[in-house]
Chains A and B, each alone.
Chain A
Amino acid sequence: MEALGNLAGGFGVALQPFNLLMLVVGVVLGLVIGILPGLGGTSGVAILLPVTVYIAGGGNATAAVTLLAGIYWGALFGGVVTSILFNIPGEPWSVALLFDGYPMAKRKGRPGFALMLAFVASLFGALVAAVFFTLFALPLARFALEFGPAELFAVFLMAFATLVGLESGSPLKSITMLGFGLLLAAVGFDSITGEPRLNFGRVELLSGIGFIPVTIGLFGIGEILASAEESGVGFMEKISAKLGLKDLLEAIRELRKRVWMLIINAIIGFWIGVLPGTGATPASFLSYGIARQYSKDKSGFGRGEPAGILAPQASANAAGVGSLLPMITLGVPGSPTAAVIMAGLFIWGLNPGPLLFTEQKDFVWGLIASIYLGHIIAFAICVVATPLLASIMRIPYALITPFIVLISIIGAYAASNQMKDVFTVLVFGVIGYWLRKMKYPLAPLVVALVLGDQTERELRKALIGSGGDPTVFLGTLERPFAGILMAVAIGLFLLPVFQALRRRGRKAPDPAAEQVE
């Protein structure tokens, strides 16, 4: 109950006119930054950090932090827009939305509905996470510190396990693509020993192959090429002319049908966000996999399934909220963006950690209240803007296609300031087009590329910590989590095998069915 009283006080602080204004400004900026390619929440927060010094200098650190947090919340919402409308991820955590968001907008001709689903899920996930944040901030943060490399490795393994059968086509092609993605992630420096690998003596390859340009190429450019061939240059899909409100109500209905699945995904996302150094991207992939694994009809996934939009987005926003928790309570940032906000705290003269809760009560609870308020503001703006955003899909082909290509170039270049990444977009655009034609699924490649590096790092850190002893993954009596999580991960890997065996046992094998590709 004490938490609720504190929260009420926090709302009092956050609703002060100046603080509220800063929150609105932050959210609007964040939305724009999220929508624009190449600009992420992290860089948006970093750009405005100097401005906050002036605001906090007036003795109002709460206004400063609500501005930065507002950018973060806005970017979490805005990142989905280009994923759904152009098949280009606005933010790393909206990559999972390419799998079903774009098909829903384009193939089903319902961009408004796809956007509404994403926004409803964002708000829902964030609110679930905010409740957890309010009630259990300190104990959860302490618990998160129990998670070392071995536990994190198990979490990443779980993400892979849920995604193994990601597309129902050919499992062998999925595995090939998974290996390809893991391999691409390994290019550059070995992050543990600093040894160059797979760079064949080329300096440009030392920095590795970025997953942003690869994803933009595979999905954005690859899709433009594939659809030009299928339907001819200049072809436009029919776009639904439904009003925004109907889409909103339908999105809420879809959410209510899956409310428990989404609560669970939001909690998982929140927890992954709390873990240091993970962030929203793995959370969204894991939730996509879970949603697919536990839906009765998997055939809709990859073709515009509502759950494929709701689950990853609820999880990503919950993770975004979660990543602030260890930063505030312990001074350990849960994501890159949280790390930049923490730098702000230091600049303003605050010391993040358990003492902050007693010494700077107004600040902490004002920030927590701004999680609720910021998401509600972002949601309201997005709902109003959705019909306008969806109408972008009706711009004639000869105008929108070159625009998407230009946006892809900016997105690739701005992330690293290297032309190399623009060439990467082009190369992977053609590769993506060809693999699509040959019916290779692209999702496992992207997931492996995003998570591969981190998975390897945690595996090796765990082994270095234990002196090469693999029993570190079994856990100990005092710290059993590694073992439990590993068991869950292995179970998830074996689940599709069992399901396949059971199906095979039930009906006699049909030789004709196996020959169809």
Chain B
Amino acid sequence: MRPYQLATAAALIGVAAVAMVDSRRWALIDASGAVPGGIGAGFYPFWSAVLMSGSALILVSQTLRNPQAAKGVFEGRQGLRDVLLLIIPMVVAIGIIDKPLQLGFYVVAALYMAFFTRVVGGYRPQWVVLSALVVSVGLFVIFEQGFRVPLPKSFLYDAGVLPF
């Protein structure tokens, strides 16, 4: 666990350090009158970052001092596999909504539903197709037609083939 804890704290310190560098201008209270009210744009992000990195630094020193349980960070290989099984399709689905593939939200919704019910649920093909269609068309009717919420459309919509 310890290397992971240290890496997490280090990453947070890194984020804070970048923010501190970016907002160093006007980081201090300005007494010259150049900034209205004495507090500029950088004051609040700079000191938020100081708060964040300061407490993360203490966390690092605590982690180094205290003995840690010798336990792996993932609950076995299976745990990691399960998480990846969820993350990878999610990344793919979100990646193909917009250009370059531009499958649009509703087509992706049907594909994603189909993938999940087939691979994770192990449903029979007819149920897979049915659930994909019901969810995709149902969402279209509610959001696009009912409440006029425009969601990304597919290239087939641009070509006039599909209503979404």
Could you list which residues of chain A lie within 8 angstroms of chain B, going by C-beta atoms?
33, 36, 38-39, 47, 170, 172-173, 175-176, 178-180, 182-183, 186, 190, 192-193, 195, 197-198, 200, 221, 224-225, 228-230, 232-234, 396-399, 401-403, 405-406, 409-410, 413-414, 417, 419, 422-423, 426, 429-430, 433-435, 437-438, 440, 452, 456, 459-468, 514-515, 517
Q: Within 8 Å of chain A (Cβ to Cβ): is B64?
A: no
Encode B50-86 as 1/0 by CB contact (under 8 A) with A. 1111011011001000111100011100111011011
Contacts of A466 in B (CB 8 A): 37
CB pair B143 A36 closer than 8 Å: yes
* Residue pair B44, A228 in contact (C-beta under 8 Å): no
By the criterion CB–CB under 8 Å, are B94 and A179 in contact? Answer: no
Q: Given contacts A229-B83, A517-B66, are A419 and B58 in contact (CB under 8 A)?
A: no
Chain A residues with Cβ under 8 A from B51's Cβ?
Answer: 175, 178-179, 182
CA distance A180 to B49 in the complex (A): 7
Given A176-B55, A179-B52, A459-B44, output 15 extra A-B contacts at Cβ < 8 Å. A38-B149, A170-B59, A178-B51, A180-B12, A182-B44, A182-B51, A197-B41, A198-B22, A401-B86, A402-B112, A405-B93, A414-B143, A429-B90, A460-B37, A514-B66
Chain A residues with Cβ under 8 A from B155's Cβ? Answer: none
| Residues of A close to B149: CB separation below 8 A | 38-39, 410, 414
Which residues from chain B contact A234 at a C-beta distance below 8 Å? 120-121
- Can you give 10 contacting A-B residue pairs, CB < 8 Å? A193-B35, A401-B86, A405-B93, A406-B135, A419-B98, A426-B94, A435-B8, A440-B8, A459-B44, A468-B37
B52, B53, B73, B121: which contacts A399 (Cβ < 8 A)? B121
Contact indicator A233/B52 (Cβ below 8 Å) = no
Q: Which residues of A contact B42 (CB under 8 A)?
A: 197
B75, A409: Cβ atoms closer than 8 Å: no
* Residue contact B142 to A36, C-beta cutoff 8 Å: yes
- In the assembly, what is the distance between CA of A450 and CA of B50, in Å? 19
CA distance A450 to B97 in the complex (A): 28
Do A434 and B22 touch (CB < 8 A)?
Answer: no
Q: Which residues of A contact B45 (CB under 8 A)?
A: 182-183, 186, 197-198
Chain A residues in 8 Å Cβ range of B50: 179
A463 touches B135 (CB 8 A): no
Q: How far is the CA of A460 from the CA of B37 in the complex (A)?
A: 6
Q: Which of B100-148 contact A (CB under 8 A)?
A: 105, 109, 112-113, 115-117, 120-123, 131, 135, 139, 142-143, 147-148
Q: How far is the CA of A186 from the CA of B139 in the complex (A)?
A: 34
Distance of A202 Cα from B154 Cα, bound (Å): 27
B83 and A433: CB pair below 8 A? yes
CA distance A406 to B110 in the complex (A): 10
Q: In the bound complex, do residue A183 and residue B86 qualify as a contact, i.e. CB atoms below 8 Å apart?
A: no
Complex-state Cα separation, A218 to B152, whole angstroms: 23
Beta-carbon contact of A438 and B48 below 8 Å:
no
Contact A47 B105 (CB under 8 A): no
- Contact of B28 with A by CB under 8 A: no
Contact of A183 among B16, B35, B122, B151 (CB under 8 A): B16
Point out the residues of chain A lying under 8 angstroms from B113, CB to CB: 402-403, 406
Q: Are A173 and B59 in contact (CB under 8 A)?
A: yes
Residues in chain A near residue B68, CB distance under 8 A: 517
4 closest A-B pairs by CB: A398-B121, A179-B52, A463-B37, A182-B48
Q: Is the CB of B109 within 8 A of A406?
A: yes
Shortest Cβ distance from A170 into B: residue: B59
- Residue pair B90, A434 in contact (C-beta under 8 Å): no
State which residues 1-47 of B face A: CB under 8 Å.
4-5, 8-9, 12, 15-16, 19, 22-23, 31, 33, 35-42, 44-45
